[in-house]
Amino acid sequence: MVNRILVTGGAGFIGSAVIRHLLGDTPHEVANLDKLSYAGNLESVALVEDSSRYRFYQVDIYNGPALDAVFDEFQPTAVMHLAAESHVDRSIDGPSVFIQTNIVGTYTLLEAARRYWNALVPEAKTAFRFHHISTDEVYGDLEGTDDLFTETTAYAPSSPYSASKACSDHLARAWQRTYGLPTLVTNCSNNYGPYHFPEKLIPHVILNALAGKPLPVYGDGSQIRDWLYVEDHARALVEVVTRGQVGETYNIGGHNEKRNLEVVETICELLDELVPMSVDRQQAGSYKGLITFVKDRPGHDLRYAIDASKIQRELGWVPQETFESGIRKTVQWYLDNREWWKRVLSGEYQLGRLGA
């Protein structure tokens, strides 16, 4: 069956990976709905944007009438909702936009989807899916070294970002319980890979290292995260939206727990191998000499770890990349695609936008 899938936030990091996978590896039609905020970059879908199965709408999920028009024109069989503000540090400095986008925006999108869904003929109504994509940060952090987040772990968000995502998760489930809208929810661990916006840890470290700048590490770098290669995540999301059970939650993890300091050191070792620092630069040519410990951020969770056994058991999904293979691919991608990230750092990627 060929689906028509509306992807919100499709110019973002994970959303663009989903679109590249859908158009490159499946027969489905795709509509990319993105308001093109600072983290939205259409150059991340340039490889597939000429497909006859692709269209783009520059729309804010906060704009109900514009959403109605997109639903009416594209007639989706499924929605994959990835549009969100996602950077914890930004949420601490300015929580308002996180409340507006992640909570009010999700509410507005759910209502637009519900209006559209209610008008469908019975067969199409039964087939429709609304897939809400979220984060493991809604669970707070783990105390025990062997504990894992499961689909029934109680929510305990620590930051304005994770609190806003927790609220949007609850909204998606409530619209299914109250109105019957066929929703599914996924919660994922930390993503990494190609086309990652440079403010996040892994691309930030890669690009700072290449520029010979300090590599900031919060606290002592002992925070533990489960790392999920973004293309593995994209495959999992498409499995969920096409084969998952309505009303269910699926945790998606990479089975790769690493301390933040270990991640930074691994990147340094790969760069030492691939692009050795010249000996006339500091620290005798070792990128590890650029590591700088900085004051920890407020409310910083210590450990996240996902139990992804449900999605493996029910949908047969497992990650294809280990952290070692995925981080090597990621570092190499940034070395091979300097034009992409240089345009992001300079702001050139924002020039000539449709709504500018």
pLDDT at 246: 98
Q: Look at residue 263 and tell me whether its pLDDT is greater than 70.
A: yes
Residue percentage of the chain with pLDDT more than 90: 85
pLDDT at 6: 98
Q: Look at residue 110 and tell me whether its pLDDT is greater than 90.
A: yes
pLDDT at 356: 46
Q: What angle do CA 52, 53, 55 make, to 5 degrees?
A: 90
pLDDT at 297: 74
Half-sphere exposure of 149 (CA within 13 A, CB side): 30
User: Both ends of the chain: CA-CA distance in Å?
Assistant: 37
| 7, containing H or E segment | strand 4-8
pLDDT in tens, 153-167: 999 999 999 999 999
- Which residue ranges make up each domain of the chain? 4-197+227-256+303-322
Q: Look at residue 301 and tell me whether its pLDDT is greater than 80.
A: no
What whole-number distance in Å separates Cα of residue 339 and Cα of residue 44? Answer: 12
pLDDT at 303: 86
Q: Which residues are catalytic?
A: 136-137, 161
Confidence of residue 87 (pLDDT cuts 50, 70, 90): confident
Q: Name the residue with higher pLDDT: 333 or 277.
A: 333
Confidence of residue 284 (pLDDT cuts 50, 70, 90): low
Q: Is 19 helix (H, G, I), strand (E, B) or coil?
A: helix
pLDDT at 278: 72
pLDDT in tens, 12-33: 999 999 999 999 999 999 999 9
pLDDT in tens, 19-78: 999 999 999 999 999 999 988 999 999 999 999 999 999 999 999 999 999 999 999 999
CATH number for domain 4-197+227-256+303-322, candidates 3.50.50.60, 3.40.50.720, 3.40.1180.10, 3.40.50.300: 3.40.50.720
Q: Which ranges in the chain belong to alpha helices (H)? A: 13-25, 64-74, 88-93, 96-98, 106-118, 122-127, 160-179, 201-210, 230-243, 260-274, 309-315, 323-336, 338-346
pLDDT at 279: 58
pTM: 0.94
